[in-house]
């Protein structure tokens, strides 16, 4: 890093689950997690995806997406993995400087390059980084896409209290240490912490944990802080993803 260069950072903002039964699973997620109302990402309908975005905390969101047609690419993938799955992480970074070049050096495919609500984003191929990883260039650091969206403002004002933040996620891959290092290199973060069962990257206080493969791969678990301390340590499964209460 150059002497005057600002340190890189990344923040976990949204966790996305995918399902073939969008209406049914969105309602199941809402009831199980005692969430408030959702709102729609205005960009997703244009690419054939139904959406329900639930505020979990003041700056974290759980999103449930589903293909609108049977021949949608996401529908084809979901049929292969059982109809539901953890799918995508939306993360905030200060810019995308050097990201494409580092991806090319590492052989990581950039699946999508786009502009969303005036901000540059890229999505990295899940076969190369373990999950569909979206990097959203967005500053200031304490602002986000939905801050001025009326539907999001309403949903935030009425969000539930049983869970009040997303505090970490778990990704299952063949080589956790190598994958965590790949992410750190692409984004420009410090090297991951190696732990007994894998590796950890710090996304502004919300750890991304990389673990070895078991019966599932990709986004396999999400940690949510609960206000009901009697439920801390419990978990539920939603869209083939473990939701753990901490």
Q: Say which CATH architecture domain 11-245 belongs to.
A: Roll (3.10)
Torsion of CA 237, 157, 204, 143, to 10 degrees: 130
DSSP state of 126: H
Where are the chain's structural domains? 11-245
Evaluated on CA atoms 111, 151, 241, 181, the torsion sign reads positive
Which pLDDT belongs to residue 125? 97
Strands 193-195 and 119-124: unpaired
Which pLDDT belongs to residue 1? 44
What is the mean pLDDT, run by run of 10 residues, along the chain of 246 residues?
64 98 98 98 94 97 98 97 98 97 98 93 97 97 95 97 98 98 97 96 97 94 98 98 98
Helix ranges, the chain (H): 22-32, 73-80, 99-106, 126-129, 150-157, 176-187
Which pLDDT belongs to residue 215? 86
The pTM assigned to this predicted structure is 0.95
| Sequential DSSP letters for 203-231 | ETTEEEEEE--SS--EEEEEEEEES-GGG
């Amino acid at each position: 890093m150059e002497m005057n260069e600002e340190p890189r950072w990344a923040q976990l903002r949204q966790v996305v689950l995918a399902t073939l039964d969008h209406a049914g699973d969105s309602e199941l997620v809402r009831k199980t997690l005692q969430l408030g109302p959702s709102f729609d990402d205005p960009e997703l309908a244009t690419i054939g995806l139904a959406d329900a975005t639930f505020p979990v905390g003041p700056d974290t969101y759980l999103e449930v997406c589903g293909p609108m047609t049977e021949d949608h690419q996401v529908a084809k993938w979901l049929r292969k993995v059982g109809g539901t799955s953890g799918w995508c992480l939306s993360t905030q970074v200060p810019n995308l400087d050097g990201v494409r070049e580092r991806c090319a050096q590492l052989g990581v495919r950039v699946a999508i390059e786009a502009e969303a609500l005036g901000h540059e984003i890229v999505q990295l191929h899940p076969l190369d980084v373990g999950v569909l990883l979206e990097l959203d260039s967005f500053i200031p650091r304490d602002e986000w896409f939905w801050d001025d969206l009326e539907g999001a403002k309403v949903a935030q004002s009425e969000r539930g209290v049983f869970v009040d933040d997303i505090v970490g996620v778990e990704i299952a891959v063949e080589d956790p240490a190598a994958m965590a290092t790949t992410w750190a290199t692409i984004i420009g973060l410090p090297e991951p912490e190696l732990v007994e069962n894998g590796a950890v990257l710090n996304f502004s206080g919300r750890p991304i944990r990389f673990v070895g493969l078991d019966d599932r791969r990709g986004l396999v678990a999400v940690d949510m802080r609960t206000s009901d301390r009697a439920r801390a340590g419990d978990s539920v499964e939603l869209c083939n993803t473990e939701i753990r209460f901490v």
